[in-house]
């Protein structure tokens, strides 16, 4: 090779080196900008990046730079959620409260779409944690599925299935057992067997725990008093086993977990046991629990599959206490702050947390002792789950404040768009046109009746509630003009 060729080759090599140096320089500035240990790279590794293998290393380092960093206090969106709602006030509340409660995460699903999904202080909406009494609502799904199938009835008595239940104990119905009106005490009472001896005993079976509860003295005649607790649901769980011929955990898997894709949900939240605590031992995540709530808001449908009938969903949400005196309720602790909560009534496995002046349900919920709080807002077609592992007492004021903020934020945004326009912008299937018709239910005219639509099942939900089913949400009505 001549002198000219050698010079040209060296010139090209120098150009490549300069190009590589420029690549490193730009990358280094980028790394400094995002504050990923800039001093380390500038002082220690610059020479290393000059090697020909540097491009591979650079690729790895850039991927590390763009990955979310766990600071322990920042919030963590599970995915980028595009939402029309300004929920920054919720951010500020949870950022403030999460550190003092061991972390918090919230998921909100409106009309089948996730509008909020964030975690704070290392808690995420995919964190699997024990949910305590939030278990009750999921367990109610098993009972209602068996009612749908005709395996049992809510008005079946304990004596029909359990030989050890006689007299007043035998008269308790499944409805009463799952609405805390059976007459059984909530837990420990006067030294008699209670939570520690029965519900927390992981060495016995569900059948054995039910036999032990048969010896617990009733506080009142069945159907005459409300007393919140876990003993009564344990009996109902055993009735379900006998009626179906299957163990409770298998029933839950078949009737609820599998149809809803709740693959990380089970009854081992308090440890492995053959005595699942029907009212309080599930572990799950906020995201998976939200799938159950979406099914309820969709009238029992989930992703095109029927999980519960509309009738059983209605029955679950109906007031099952029938006005009996409230002897013990966790809501009574907050009457001095929120006077209206002292009279919160109960359905099947869930609280009728907010009702209007006529008794029509607006919001239902099922909080747990650790603060885990799922709820549905039927007026706003909204499902929400606050995941936390702290204490009910600490979390409840936060939960109530948070929900008030959410209502305000959603209503503020919703009011900006005409109602009929919002409905027509929902990309509804063809059969939704049948949902827009002259109103025969609402009291005044002209009106348009809008049937609830589920994006989850991609179907128009045609429920049996409204004027013909008192106490449940009516059809949505809006002036045509």
pTM > 0.75: no
CA-wise closest residue to 366 among 467, 425, 268, 284: 284
Give the lowest-confidence range in 124-133, 201-210, 472-481.
472-481
Domain ranges of the chain: 3-66, 129-414, 419-479
CA-wise closest residue to 149 among 243, 260, 238, 276: 243
- pLDDT, mean over the chain: 78
For 268-302, what is each residue's pLDDT tens digit? 999 999 999 999 999 999 999 999 999 999 999 99
The Cα-based distances of 261 to 23, 64, 292, 341 in angstroms read: 47, 32, 9, 34
Report yes or no: 370 and 330 within 8 Å, Cβ to Cβ. no
Sequence-ordered strand ranges (E) for 307-360? 326-328, 345-346, 351-355
pLDDT number for residue 138: 98
129-414: CATH, from 3.40.50.880, 3.40.710.10, 3.90.550.10, 3.40.309.10: 3.40.710.10
For 58-101, what is each residue's pLDDT tens digit? 333 333 333 333 333 444 554 556 678 999 999 999 999 999 99
State the Cα–Cα distance between residues 25 and 37, nearest whole angstrom: 16
Report the half-sphere exposure of 364 (CA within 13 A, side-chain side): 29
């Amino acid at each position: 090779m001549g002198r000219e060729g050698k010079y040209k080759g060296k010139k090209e090599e120098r150009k490549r080196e300069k190009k590589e140096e420029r690549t490193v320089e730009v990358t280094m500035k980028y790394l400094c900008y995002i504050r990923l240990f800039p001093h380390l790279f500038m002082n220690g590794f610059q020479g290393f990046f000059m090697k020909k293998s540097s491009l591979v290393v650079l690729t790895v380092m850039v991927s590390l730079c763009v990955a979310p960093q766990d600071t322990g206090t920042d919030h963590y969106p599970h995915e980028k959620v595009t939402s029309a709602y300004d929920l920054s006030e919720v951010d500020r509340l949870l950022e403030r409260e999460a550190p003092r409660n061991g972390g918090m995460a919230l998921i909100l699903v409106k009309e089948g779409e996730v509008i909020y999904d964030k975690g704070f202080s290392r808690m995420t909406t995919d964190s699997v944690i024990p949910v305590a009494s939030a278990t009750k609502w999921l367990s109610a799904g098993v009972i209602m599925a068996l009612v749908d199938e005709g395996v049992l009835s809510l008005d079946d008595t304990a004596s029909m299935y359990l030989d050890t239940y006689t007299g007043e104990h035998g008269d308790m119905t499944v409805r009463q057992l799952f609405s805390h009106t059976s007459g059984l005490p909530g837990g420990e009472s006067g030294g008699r067997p209670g939570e520690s001896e029965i519900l927390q005993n992981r060495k016995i079976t569900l059948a054995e725990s039910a036999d032990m509860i048969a010896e617990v003295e009733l506080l009142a005649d069945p159907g005459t008093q409300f007393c919140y607790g876990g003993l009564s649901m344990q009996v109902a769980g055993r009735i379900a086993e006998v009626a179906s011929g299957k163990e409770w955990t298998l029933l839950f898997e078949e009737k609820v977990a599998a149809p809803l894709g709740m693959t990380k949900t089970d009854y081992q939240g308090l440890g492995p046991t053959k005595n699942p605590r029907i009212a309080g031992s599930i572990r799950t995540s906020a995201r998976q629990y939200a799938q159950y709530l979406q099914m309820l808001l969709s009238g029992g449908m989930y992703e095109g599959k029927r999980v519960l009938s509309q009738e059983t969903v209605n029955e679950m949400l109906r007031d099952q206490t029938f006005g009996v005196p409230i002897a013990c309720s966790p809501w009574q602790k907050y009457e001095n702050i929120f006077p209206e909560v002292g009279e919160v009534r109960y359905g099947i496995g869930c609280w009728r947390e907010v009702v209007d002046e006529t008794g029509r349900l607006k919001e239902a919920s099922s909080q747990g002792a650790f603060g885990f709080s799922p709820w549905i807002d039927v007026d706003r077609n909204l499902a929400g789950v606050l995941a936390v592992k702290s204490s009910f007492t600490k979390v409840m004021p936060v939960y109530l404040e948070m929900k008030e903020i959410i209502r305000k934020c959603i209503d503020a945004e919703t009011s900006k768009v005409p109602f009929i326009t919002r409905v027509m912008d929902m990309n509804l299937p063809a059969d939704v046109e049948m949902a827009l018709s002259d109103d025969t239910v609402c009291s005044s005219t002209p009106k348009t009746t809008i049937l609830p639509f589920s994006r989850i099942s991609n179907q128009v939900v045609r429920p049996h509630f409204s004027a013909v089913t008192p106490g449940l949400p009516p059809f949505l009505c809006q002036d045509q003009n």
